Amino acid sequence: MTATHSFSTLIPDTILDAVESTGLWSDSRIYSLNSYENRVYQIGIEDGSPVIAKFYRPDRWSKAQILEEHSLLLKLQVAGVPIVAPLMFEGKSLFCHKGIYFCLSPRLIGQHPEADNLDQLYQLGELIGQVHKEMSAVPFSERISVSPLMQMDQATSQILSHNLLPEKLKPLYKKQINKLRGMSEASIKAYWPTQLRPVHGDSHRSNLMLHEGQFHLLDFDDCQNGIAVQDLWLHITQTENPQQQLSEIIEGYETYMPFDIRELGLIDVFKSVRVICYAAWLQNRWHDPAFVKAFPWFDTENYWLNHLNELKNCELEWENMSR
C-alpha cells in the first residue's frame, strides 16, 4: 500500500529526533510496543532508564483534549493513585515534532491481570474506585461525553456507507443492528444516570499492569465523561454466571466510591456498542498499513459473517440476562 497515512513520516530518525528535542539523549535503541491507534515505542536513554514515547494519531484528539488528559494524570500522580503520568520537561508534558504530538513517560514493567482471578478482580475494583474518586471533582470540559446510541448510529452509518461489508450481508446487518439499538434504547431509558462523571473509558486488561505487587491503570487516551460501569464491565469474562465476578469488582470499588446497582442494566448496551464500534474502527483505519498487516482478515466475507454472529450473541446474552 503506497497511500500516505497518519504515521508515514514517523521513521526511526524522526522518532529519535523527537525524543532528543526534550533534552534527553537516546542510545538509538527503539522497541515498538503493541499499539495501533497511536504509535508507542520504548526508547533507550544514555545513562538512564528507558522511556516510553507515545505519538498521538493526528486529527484524533485536539491539543486541548490531550492536555486535559495530562493534567488529570499529573493530579492523580500527586494524589498517590497508581497510574503512569507523562514526564515533564521545563514545565511541559506535550510536545510536537513534524506535526505529530507526542509525550514521554516512565517505563513500567509488570504483568496484566489474570482474567478469572477473584482476588485480583477485587483489587481492580479498588483501583478503579480510587481513580473515580479522585477524578470526580470536576467533569471534563474538553473530552467527549459518552453517548451509546449516537456511537452506535455513527458506527453503523460508516460501515454501511463503505463496500467492505458485502452487499448481500447488509440487510442482515441492518436487521441485527435495529434489534440491538431498540434494546439499548429501552435500557438507557430505564437505567441511565442523571449525571455523568469522568471515567477512564477503556480499562480493559491490557491497560492494567501489576507492578511490584500493585495494579496500575495505564493509557487514559479515551478518558471521557461517562458512567462507573463503563470501567467495570470489561473485566467480566464469565457469560453464564458473571455474578461472582461482579460481586468482587463492586465490593472492591465500593471501598472508595458508592456504586449505583442500576448501572448493571447498561452492561449489555456497552457490550453491543463495543462490538459495533470495533468493526467501524478497523474500517476507519484501513488506510493505515499497520492495520492491513495486523488484521489481514478484516476485508474478507468470513470476518463479516463472524461479526454478524457476534452481534447475534450480544442479543442472546442480553435476553438470557433479562430472564
The catalytic residue positions are: 202, 219
Taking only Cα atoms into account, the Rg of the chain, rounded to an integer number of angstroms, comes to: 21
Q: Is 219 marked as binding a ligand?
A: yes
Q: In the chain, at which residue ranges do the beta strands (DSSP E only) sit?
A: 26-32, 39-45, 51-55, 95-97, 100-106, 197-199, 208-211, 214-217, 224-226
Q: Is 207 marked as binding a ligand?
A: yes
Closest CA to 41 of 99, 103, 112: 103
In the three-class reduction of DSSP (H, G, I as helix; E, B as strand; rest coil), residue 101 is classed as strand
H or E segment and range at residue 171:
helix 170-191
Question: What is the rounded distance in angstroms from the CA atom of residue 211 to the CA atom of residue 113?
Answer: 11
Question: What is the rounded distance in angstroms from the CA atom of residue 159 to the CA atom of residue 164?
Answer: 8
Amino acid found at 304: W
DSSP character string of 280-297: HHHHHTTTSHHHHHH-TT
Pick out the residues of the known binding site. Answer: 207, 219
Pick out the residues of the known binding site for Mg(2+). Answer: 207, 219
